[in-house]
């Protein structure tokens, strides 16, 4: 079958469900993934023809898409901050908003270390290795991207799910970075989980980490109706939802851990529920963090917050 005819079938059967632009994206992503042919090459070869076996693969993709299975799960991978990550139903699909959070961390770190202004963070890092902790790592996209762009750093990542940690480990290996993965519950993090990281007890007392970052579950169950059906039916609810009555439960626990385990002038970063920006600022201020900053994502929603440990 000619690729242009197959593309028309995709549009005929999927446009009403997804829209023409998104269906076109699905088709070309599938072509690039399975046939290793770039979109531009296909456009330059309008008579390009697929074998029967290749065509069968695309009809299988078509059926999955008709059932609203996310294209990232169908292909088994996605792109995040220029890197490729394996994903399946055990981990959330990385979002563009999380790329913005990573970008904020990288640019903040670069500014604080390279700035000529006095900085406790700057002076403390120049003589030792930067240590970063990602809590609730999922696919590992945050931890791995930070490790890739800060190769001098030592990066640790925590998740409660063994299945997620397996995917994250595979992603770390595929992207050629060394991450220390730890199985632990974000709601019950213990200092003992990280004792092997410290060279001695004095290091534990002064704080283990320069940066702690987390994108924990933050969608209240009352907000389910705002979510797309393909997210609700396919992505892990454990990583998505919190109870309506206590939506900041993860942020509260992780902030307490950060108070005890960040070094002086260390930074705590969160991705947050867009409706709870002010509540998150109040929480971090109440915990004793300084220079608390709330940022919007590119869609104009409150999405990220940062606090600095005194």
**Per-block mean pLDDT, blocks of 10 residues, the chain (310 long):** 97 97 97 95 93 98 97 98 98 97 94 54 59 98 98 96 98 98 93 61 65 95 87 90 92 97 96 97 98 98 97
Which pLDDT score is estimated for 109?
87
CB 27 within 8 A of CB 7: yes
Q: How many whole angstroms separate alpha carbon 219 and alpha carbon 274?
A: 9
How much is the pLDDT for 83? Answer: 98
* DSSP-derived 3-state class of residue 268: strand
- Which two three-digit tokens encode residue 84? 């490729």
Adjacent-strand bridge partners of 182: 158
The length of the chain in residues reads 310
Neighbours of 247 (CB within 10 A): 22
Cα-Cα-Cα-Cα dihedral of 300, 255, 211, 241, to 10°?
A: -50
Which residue do the tokens 């981990």 mark? Answer: 91
Owner of token pair 């001695």:
200
Residue 116's pLDDT is 45
Give the CATH number of domain 89-308; options: 1.10.274.10, 3.40.50.720, 3.40.50.150, 3.40.50.2300: 3.40.50.150
pTM for this model (two decimals): 0.90
Show me where the domains of the chain are located.
Answer: 3-67, 89-308
Distance CA 60, CA 82 (A): 28
Classify 292 as helix, strand or coil.
strand
Return d(Cα 48, Cα 171) in angstroms, integer: 33
Contacts of 5 (CB under 8 A, 6+ apart): none
How far apart are alpha carbons 132 and 179 in whole angstroms?
10
The secondary structure of residue 184, as a DSSP letter, is: -
């Amino acid at each position: 079958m000619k690729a242009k005819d197959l593309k028309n079938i995709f549009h005929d059967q999927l446009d009403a469900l997804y829209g023409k632009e998104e269906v076109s994206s699905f088709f070309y992503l599938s072509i690039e993934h399975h046939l290793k042919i770039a979109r531009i090459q296909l456009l330059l070869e309008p008579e390009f023809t697929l074998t029967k076996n290749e065509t069968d693969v695309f009809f299988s993709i078509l059926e999955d898409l008709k059932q609203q299975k996310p294209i990232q799960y169908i292909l088994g991978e996605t792109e995040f901050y220029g890197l490729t990550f394996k994903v399946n139903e055990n981990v959330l699909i990385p979002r563009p908003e999380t790329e913005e959070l990573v970008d904020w961390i990288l640019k903040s770190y670069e500014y604080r270390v390279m700035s000529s202004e006095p900085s406790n963070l700057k002076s403390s890092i120049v003589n030792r290795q930067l240590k970063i902790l990602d809590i609730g790592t999922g696919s590992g996209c945050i931890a791995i991207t930070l490790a890739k762009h800060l190769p001098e750093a030592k990066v640790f990542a925590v998740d409660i799910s063994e299945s997620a940690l397996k995917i994250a480990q595979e992603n770390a290996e595929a992207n050629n970075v060394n991450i220390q993965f730890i199985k632990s519950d974000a709601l019950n993090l213990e200092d003992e989980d990280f004792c092997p990281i410290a060279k001695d007890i004095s290091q534990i007392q002064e704080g283990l980490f320069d940066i702690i970052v987390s994108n924990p579950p933050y969608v209240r169950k009352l907000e389910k109706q705002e979510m797309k059906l393909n997210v609700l039916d396919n992505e892990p609810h454990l990583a998505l939802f919190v109870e309506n009555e206590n939506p900041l439960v993860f942020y509260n626990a992780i902030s307490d851990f950060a108070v005890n385990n960040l070094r002086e002038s260390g930074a705590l970063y969160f991705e947050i529920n867009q409706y709870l920006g002010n509540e998150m600022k109040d929480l971090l201020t109440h915990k004793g963090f300084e220079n608390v900053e709330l940022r919007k994502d590119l869609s104009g929603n409150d999405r990220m917050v940062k606090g600095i440990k005194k």
